[in-house]
Amino acid sequence: MVSIRDRKVRVVAKLRGSLAKEAESSKDGSVSWLSVYKPKGEDSETVTVTLVEQSLSRRECYEVDFCYEQNQGNDVIYSREVKPLISRVFEGHNATVIACGARGSGKSYMIQGTEEELGIAVLAMVEVLSVAEEKGKLVSMSFYEIVQDRVYDMLDQKRQEVSILEAHGKIQLKGLSQVRVASMAEFQKLYCGDRGGMRKLDQKIAAELPSRSHKGLIIYVSSCGENENDVVVGKMNFVDLAGYEDARRKSRDGQTCVENIKMINKSIYALQNVVYSLKANEVHVPYRESKLTRLLQGSLGGTNRILLVSCLNPSFCQDSLYMLSLASRCGQGTNRAISDSTKKISRSVRNMASISHKSRLHGSSSNISKKQAVRSMPFPEKKAATNSSALKTRKLFDKTGQLKSDKMSSLDNDLATEHSTQEEEMTSNTAKQALPLKAEGSSPLVLQDPKSTSFSEALVPNSITNETTACFQEISHNEDGHEEVTPITKVLPKDKNGENMDKENYNSLDNQRVSPPISARLQELSNNLKSLYFSTPTTYRDTTMTNDISVLDEVSLTNDTSVFDEISTLLEPVTPHRGAKTNDAQEVASFCSPWETFNMHNSGVKDSVVKEYLKFLNTAKKEELKKLKGIGEKRATYILELREDSPEPFKNLDDLKDIGVSAKQVKRMMRQEVGGIFD
Ligand SMILES: Nc1ncnc2c1ncn2[C@@H]1O[C@H](COP(=O)(O)OP(=O)(O)OP(=O)(O)O)[C@@H](O)[C@H]1O
């Protein structure tokens, strides 16, 4: 089993210390809206953060690898979480520490710190410099800012924009300064301020650009290579994400800069999605969805490590909670957010889809004894080039997810899956959250895929009905970039062994959209064949099934094939198959597809009708001929005269011209006659 320290993605939470005014408003300055459950104290491998805001009539729980409380300073987070990563950097692996959270949740305080309390990046640099000296390595740094998805070099006087290039599979940051650092004083000067003449420039740029941005520090450990060029051994990234804010709420509040908020949120989701994908070992990791993920690409996958710290405000903050839910969800590559509502409300299917999908876990403490696992994930927002609905389907359940869901579905099903109105609002407000569906009594779904509009689906075994439900979700993005999900649920038919017959057809919605499932098409063909077969007079049926179909060739040799085509169309709107020349229908069937075989049979039936009609003209008595529509006394007499000259004057429909019947009349006659036969 992989030790938690060896996990490639680790997700922890950090409760920010209270500010003076916050301490005043609460009795003891402690956090009252969240409680943290650590089953094994400081050695817990998983802790549960529970929302305990009574007034909200709801309780939500989220699992993370650990939660640092208010009284635990940056030094504690550093020594437990960051320091172990540093030794790996010297061994050639990269590490990335990401601070996410709502505005004012203490991200910068944790990463950068203050004069009073050093941030984890600063503490890391102390260690890196020390080890580098020991090992004879070189240390350098880059410092960048991302504003409106553009990267700027913070160590450059002019704040040059950085281009992200990819060459030979490696990301190159063109225009990003990499400055050698030999001491903490140098580092502090570059990273923590007092950048001399730059201050004025900073103010000018700050006035021009939206104030909120992501900030990133890269610490490089290098060895001196040939020609004294530095060869990077490993690097450590510290990313201080801009605070998350609900763009819709801001726009309701009439605030400006909503576009900037959306852009920031978009890149937060993109990063969360990358972390999720890496954790879930997905083949495709959506690095290309933001500049930030592109920039970090070389430090995230493979043997590299990610530490995601979800910072939490001490006073109730919906945005903080949402960020925690996303962090929790991407922490295991499956969703681990747990929710427990105390208020039962009914809701529409659509609302069911828009809230977190829940199933029950066994709780280990009294106030969280009823937990419901939410297994959904955030998805990157990826606007299509046009607003057209570029629909895309992805299979959502990997093997692990399926197994897990099976297991979960065996847990109690009677737990209500209701949510408070506020929760609903929260989740509906949650941009970029992939929203799971719940089939009653089934385990939850994991969704995917990120497009302006997309479809997601999952197969959900239902422990009660023993059926498998195919759940599709139409995910579209509203103008705020929030996903809206429309659920479509289908119960898949089962064969006698209890296997879902059409499962494979539901695995890709493309099957649904491009063409019907194969089984449906075969069924349709089969029905057509049956109805054609049984509505055909026995003589024709026998002829078709047992005799040769050489008449096809005969007919195709006629001059006016359009006549035949039209007659055929009257019988059945299927193109006659004329390629095969065989007398053995079974043989044909053996090397033709069912569709081709059906076509041949179908054409054969039609040809037989024509053949029988001509045979009738060649053999019937005068009175019988006159029973045919379009043949009166004169024509019947003429037909008999022709038969005296030739034993078989009518070999094909064209020969009907000999009795003064035009092509048009032939068509009409056949319509009348054939119609009569099939009536
Ligand atoms: N552990 C702490 N103890 C005391 N005060 C703190 C702590 N963490 C943060 N603060 C204070 O909280 C305020 C917000 O912190 P900070 O600026 O780090 O938040 P942020 O999440 O980076 O905000 P933004 O999203 O706006 O960038 C600051 O005044 C900071 O000094």
DSSP track, 429-483: H-TTB------TTB--------SSEEEEEEEEEBTTT--EEEEEEEEEE-TTS-E
Instruction: Please state, in angstroms and as integers, the Cα–Cα distance from residue 424 to each residue in 250, 341, 355, 409, following that order.
Output: 18, 11, 6, 23
* Model pLDDT for residues 295-335, shown as the tens digit of each residue: 999 999 999 999 999 999 998 888 999 999 999 988 766 54
The residue nearest atom 15 of ligand 1, judged by CA position, is 106
Looking at the DSSP bridge assignments, the partners of residue 650 are none
Rounded to whole angstroms, how far apart are CA atoms 8 and 306? 6
- Of 131-140, 218-227, 429-438, 531-540, the poorest mean pLDDT is in 429-438
Asked whether 109 lines ligand 1 (CB < 6 A), one says: yes
Q: Whose CA is nearest to atom 14 of ligand 1?
A: 104
Instruction: Measure the CA–CA gap between 507 and 394, rounded to whole angstroms.
Output: 8
Residue 626: what pLDDT? 86
Is the pLDDT assigned to residue 488 strictly greater than 50? no
- Is the pLDDT at 411 greater than 90? The verdict is no
Q: Which two tokens stand for residue 540?
A: 């024709």
Q: Which atom of ligand 1 is nearest to the CA of 311?
A: 21
Tokens of 471: 């759940």
Mean pLDDT of 61-76: 94
The answer, yes or no, to whether any atom of ligand 1 lies below 6 A from the CB of 343, is: no
Q: 538: how many CB neighbours lie within 10 A of its CB? A: 8
Query: Which residue did the predictor score with more confidence, 345 or 197?
Result: 197
Predicted pLDDT at 161: 95
- Do residues 606 and 571 make contact, with C-beta atoms less than 8 angstroms apart? yes
Indicate if the pLDDT at residue 603 is higher than 80: no
- For residue 49, how far is its CA from the centre of ligand 1 (angstroms)? 20
Report which of residues 138 and 487 the model is more confident about. Answer: 138
Instruction: Write down the pLDDT at residue 55.
Output: 66
Q: Is the CB of residue 42 less than 8 Å from the CB of residue 325?
A: no
- Which one of 21, 76, 109 would you pick to mutate in the ligand 1 pocket, going by the greatest count of ligand atoms within 8 A of its CB? 109
Is 101 among the annotated ligand-binding positions? yes
> Once rounded to an integer, what is the mean pLDDT over residues 72-80?
96
**Ligand 1 in reach of 314 Cβ (< 6 A):** no
Whether 193 has a binding-site annotation, put simply, is: no
Residue 490 has pLDDT above 50, yes or no: no
- Range from 35-49, 179-193, 625-639 carrying the lowest mean pLDDT: 625-639
Distance CA 217, CA 253 (A): 34
103 is in an annotated binding site: yes
Nearest CA to ligand 1 atom 10: 106
What is the sign of the dihedral through the CA atoms of 389, 329, 258 and 288?
A: negative
Whether residue 273 contacts residue 288, with contact meaning beta carbons closer than 8 Å, is answered with no
106 assigned to a ligand binding site: yes
For residue 215 and ligand 1, the question of a CB distance below 6 A is answered with: no
Model confidence at 414, in pLDDT bands (50, 70, 90)?
very low
- Residue 610 CA to residue 225 CA, distance in Å, equals 88
Per-residue model confidence (pLDDT) at position 565: 41
546 alpha carbon to ligand 1 midpoint, in Å?
87
Which atom of ligand 1 is nearest to 240's Cα?
A: 22
Q: What are phi and psi of 231, to 5 degrees?
A: -115, 115
Task: Give me the helix-helix angle, 291-300 and 258-279, nearest 10°.
Answer: 20
Is the pLDDT score of 396 beyond 50? no
The verdict on whether residue 498 carries a ligand-binding annotation is no
pLDDT at 675: 58
Please tell me the least confidently modeled range out of 84-98, 218-232, 425-439, 483-497. Answer: 425-439
Q: How far is CA 493 from CA 211, 405, 458, 501, 502, in A?
A: 56, 20, 15, 6, 7
pLDDT of residue 527: 52
Query: Quick count: other Cβ atoms within 10 Å of Cβ 398?
Result: 15
Q: Which residue has the higher pLDDT, 177 or 628?
A: 177
pLDDT at site 561: 38
- Least Cα distance to 610 among 564, 646, 649 occurs for 564
pLDDT at 2 (0 to 100) = 54
Residue 249, pLDDT score: 74
Distance 86 CA to ligand 1 centre (A): 25
At residue 649 the predicted structure's pLDDT band, cuts being 50, 70 and 90, is: confident
Question: Does ligand 1 have an atom closer than 6 angstroms to the CB of 16?
Answer: yes
Interval 385-401 mean pLDDT: 30
Q: What is the mean pLDDT of residues 185-195?
A: 81
d(CA 477, CA 431): 9
Give the pLDDT score at 674: 61
Per-residue buried b or exposed e for 546-571, using 16+ beta carbons within 10 Å of the residue's own CB = eeebebbeebeeeeebebbebbbeeb
Cα separations (Å) of 162 from 145, 210, 237? 10, 18, 17
Residue (of 290, 457, 473) closest to 383 by Cα position: 290
> From the CA of 108, how far away is ligand 1's center (Å)?
6
Query: Separation of 16 CA from ligand 1 center, angstroms?
Result: 7
Q: Tell me whether residue 574 is exposed, middle or buried, using C-beta atoms within 10 angstroms of its C-beta: 0 to 12, 13 to 18, 19 or more.
A: middle
Answer whether residue 59 shows pLDDT above 80. Answer: no
Instruction: Tell me the mean pLDDT in the region 570-583.
Output: 38
pLDDT for residue 617:
87
What is the reported pLDDT for 638? Answer: 86
Ligand 1 center to residue 648 CA distance, Å? 102
CB contact at 8 A, 60 and 338? yes
Give mean pLDDT, residues 85-95: 95
Whether 305 is in the pocket of ligand 1, judged by its Cβ within 6 Å, is no
Is 513 annotated as ligand-binding?
no
Spell out the residues 6+ positions from residue 9 whose beta carbon is closer than 8 angstroms to its own.
275, 278, 279, 305, 306, 308, 330, 331, 333
Split at pLDDT 50, 70, 90, the class of 173 is: very high
| CB 107 near ligand 1, within 6 Å | yes
Count of all residues that appear for the chain in the document = 679
Q: Would you state the pLDDT for residue 666?
A: 73
pLDDT of 290 above 60: yes
Closest atom of ligand 1 to 102 CA is: 25
- Asked if residue 565 lies in contact with residue 574, where contact means CB atoms within 8 angstroms, the answer is no
- C-alpha of residue 13 to centroid of ligand 1, in Å: 15
pLDDT digits (tens, 9 = 90+) for 104-143: 999 999 999 998 999 999 999 999 999 999 999 999 999 9
Which backbone phi and psi does 41 adopt, to 5 degrees? 60, -135
pLDDT of residue 658: 75
Identify the pLDDT of residue 387.
Answer: 32
pLDDT band at 53 (very low <50, low <70, confident <90, very high): low
Place of tokens 């998350």: 244
pLDDT, mean of residues 226-252? 85
Highest mean predicted confidence (pLDDT) among 57-71, 286-300, 336-350: 286-300
Kindly state if the Cβ of 106 falls inside 6 Å of ligand 1: yes
Ligand 1 geometric centre to CA of 251 (Å): 24
Assigned token pair, 595: 């569709």
For residues 279 and 238, which has the higher predicted lDDT (pLDDT)?
238
pLDDT at 257: 74
Give nearest CA residue, ligand 1 atom 1: 17
What is the average per-residue pLDDT within 567-593?
Answer: 41
Ramachandran area for residue 493 (φ above 0: left; ψ -120 to 50: alpha; else beta): beta
pLDDT at 21: 76
| Least confident among 84-98, 234-248, 375-389 | 375-389
Q: What share of the chain is helix, strand, coil (3-state, %, to 5)?
A: 40, 20, 35
CA of 201 relative to ligand 1 center, distance in Å: 24
Residue 27 near residue 310 (C-beta atoms within 8 A): no
Q: Is the pLDDT of residue 600 over 50?
A: yes
Residue whose CB lies within 8 A of the most ligand 1 atoms, among 108, 116, 265, 267, for a mutation test: 108
Q: Which residues of 235-266 are buried (b: 16+ CB within 10 A; e: fewer)?
A: bbbbbbbbbbbbbbbbbeeeeebbebbbbbbb
Gap from CA of 519 to ligand 1 centroid (Å): 60
Ligand 1 touching residue 119 (CB < 6 A):
no
Q: Tell me what the pLDDT averaged over the chain comes to.
A: 66
Q: Residue 588's pLDDT is what?
A: 41
Atom of ligand 1 nearest to the CA of 73: 1
Q: Secondary structure of 10-30 in the HEC alphabet?
A: EEEEEECCCCHHHHHHCCCCC
Q: How far is CA 548 from the centre of its chain?
A: 53
- 104 known ligand binder: yes
The closest residue, in CA terms, to atom 23 on ligand 1 is 104
Place of tokens 């408070």: 420
369 CA to centre of ligand 1 in angstroms? 33
pLDDT at 562 exceeding the cut of 50: no
- Ligand 1 contact, 104 CB (< 6 A): yes
Percentage of the chain lying above the pLDDT 70 cut: 51
Q: Residue 119 Cα, ligand 1 centroid: separation in angstroms?
A: 11
- What integer is the mean pLDDT of 452-478? 34
> How far is the C-alpha of 190 from the C-alpha of 481, rounded, in Å?
36
Determine contact, residues 502/493, Cβ cutoff 8 Å.
yes
439 belongs to an annotated ligand binding site: no
